[in-house]
Structure 1
Amino acid sequence: MFGTDERARTLRSFVLALVGTPWLLLIEPARRVVSLEATLAAIGLGAVLGVVAAIGLADVDYRDVNDVTASVVTLGCIGVATVVVWLLVPHQYLGTVLQFALAFAWAMPVTQLLYNRYRAPESG
C-alpha cells in the first residue's frame, strides 16, 4: 500500500479540491461557457497537466525543503503564472482559465490516489 506521506499528500489534495471547487464556481465566468472548443480544451489541458503533475511529483521527498523557501518559490510561480495567463488569454476566455483550474484541481488528487494505490510495490 502507500505510506503515510503519500496518504497525507493525497488527502490534502482532495481537501484542497473540495474546498476550492465551490469558491471557483462562485465566480461568474467559471459558470459561463464561452465556446465549446475553448472549454473542452481548457478542461482537457487541465486534466492532462494534473495527471502529469501528480505523477511527476509522486516520488519527490519534501522533508528537506525549507518552508520559507518553498513558500517564496510557490508565491513567485503563482505570480509569474498569473501574469502569463493575463497576457496570453483573451479577456472573453478568462472563464476557461477557471475551468482549467477545476480540472487540474481534481485530476491531480485522483491521479495521486490511483498512482499510489496501483503502482508496483517497491522491492527492499
Structure 2
Amino acid sequence: MGLAKTEMFTDLQNEIALFAKVFGHPARVAILQHLFKIDTCACGDLVNEIGLAQPTISQHLKELKHLGLIKGKVEGTSVCYCINADNWTKMKKVMIQFLDQNIPKGDCC
C-alpha cells in the first residue's frame, strides 16, 4: 500500500495545513472570535451567538478542540469552552514564521 498523502510532507507542512484548515470555515472563525471577545468560558451561548444548530456548533468545536486551539471542561450538564492559550501561542508562532517569509525580489513572471 502507498504512502498517505500527508506522509509526503514534513511535520511542519502538515501542521501549517491543519492550522489553515481550521480557519477555512467562517463558523470556526466566529467561534474563536467569540471566545476571545468574552474572555471567559462559553457554555451554552454559542448556538445563540453564532446562529447555527447545536450539532453544527458541536462539530466545529470538535475540530477546534482536536487541533488544541480550544479546551473544554464539564460544568454540570454542559461543556464550557475557552481558548487554549499555550496552543494558541504555538500556532501563532508557526503561522507568523510561515507568513512572514520574504517574497523573492526576482522577476519570475
TM-score (norm 1): 0.26
More relative contact order in 1 or in 2 (CA 8 Å, sep 6+)? 1
**Larger Rg, first or second structure (1 or 2):** 2
TM-score (norm 2): 0.28
